[in-house]
Amino acid sequence: MKDAPLSPSSERVGATNDISTRTIGEAWLDLAEKILNEGHSGKYDGLVIRELIMPILLVSDPSSGDSLIQRFADPTRLEWMHANFTDFTRVAALGGAESYATRLYDYDHQGINQIEWVIERLKSDPSSRSATITTFQPLTDTTYIPCVSLLDFFILGEGLCLVVYAHSIDFGTKGFANLVELAYLQEHVATALATEIGHLTFIVKSAHIYESEFCEMSELLKVANDARR
């Protein structure tokens, strides 16, 4: 692992951080390796991290059943994130914040199913470029701001595409799980619309790995990269 520069101030933000892959598992591993090798030192909630600012993941063939993630990712973290996206219970590990399930399917407890809204919007107008939803609930999100805040669906050709923005994602223990759940949402909407799956674009302001996981991720990458050869 190379020594990381201390400050990104001398480079254009995000200029060299884009990663294009076929699968979400490749995207996770490639970005994690780039963070470790080229990331800048920083802190997140007082903890030391290495981060890249504004990387963009471009995944041409996203699938929630990704073989690399199934083989190398922590199943406990996958289960935790899946519960976050499907269980309406508040998330204790996040200080009792609303789950993504509530934000997506019962927005602000107003009975608003945003995923169904996206489906109906694209059914009525397949050319729509405003089938855009947010997980941010500004009146109640005063201490916790959801990492994934914007999901933008659109149909291009025969495929349903998804663009996602996140303010920060931990690609050591959570990033793979976020990618799985986002791919699942894309598949769900595409099935409802009877379209193919298009590309998934993931824009992350701060893609990082915590110092406590540098060694673990370095070892995981060695094993995974050997398996990919």
Tokens found for residue 49: 């991290």
Inside any domain, residue 38? yes
Rounded CA gap, 27 and 95, in Å? 29
Confidence (pLDDT) at 139: 94
Q: pLDDT, tens digit, for every residue of 159-174?
A: 999 999 999 999 998 9
Asked if residue 10 is part of any domain, the answer here is no
Which pLDDT score is estimated for 10? 47
CB 202 within 8 A of CB 164: yes
Mean local confidence (pLDDT), 13-26: 87
pTM more than 0.75:
yes
Which domain, by its residues, includes 29?
19-228
Q: What is the pLDDT of residue 156?
A: 98
Asked whether residue 11 is assigned to any structural domain, the reply reads no
Whether 5 maps to a domain, the answer reads: no
133: which 2 tokens?
């939803």
In a domain, 4, yes or no: no
Is 9 a member of any domain? no
- Name residues whose C-beta falls within 8 Å of residue 41's C-beta, 6 or more positions apart in sequence: 4, 6, 48, 49, 50
Total domains present in the chain: 1
CATH code for the domain in which residue 132 is found:
3.30.572.10
pLDDT of residue 192: 98
Residue of 132, 135, 130, 79 whose CA lies nearest to 106: 135
**Using one digit for the tens of pLDDT, what is the confidence trace for 174-209?**
999 999 999 999 999 999 999 999 999 999 999 999
Helix (H) / strand (E) containing 58: strand 56-59
Q: In this predicted structure, what is the pLDDT of residue 5?
A: 53
Classify residue 122: in a domain, yes or no.
yes
- pLDDT over 90 (residue 14): no
SS (H, E, C) 148-199: EEEEEEEEECCEEEEEEEEEEEECCCCHHHHHHHHHHHHHHHHHHHCCEEEE
Task: Provide φ and ψ at 223, rounded to 5°.
Answer: -65, -45
Tell whether 12 is covered by a domain: no
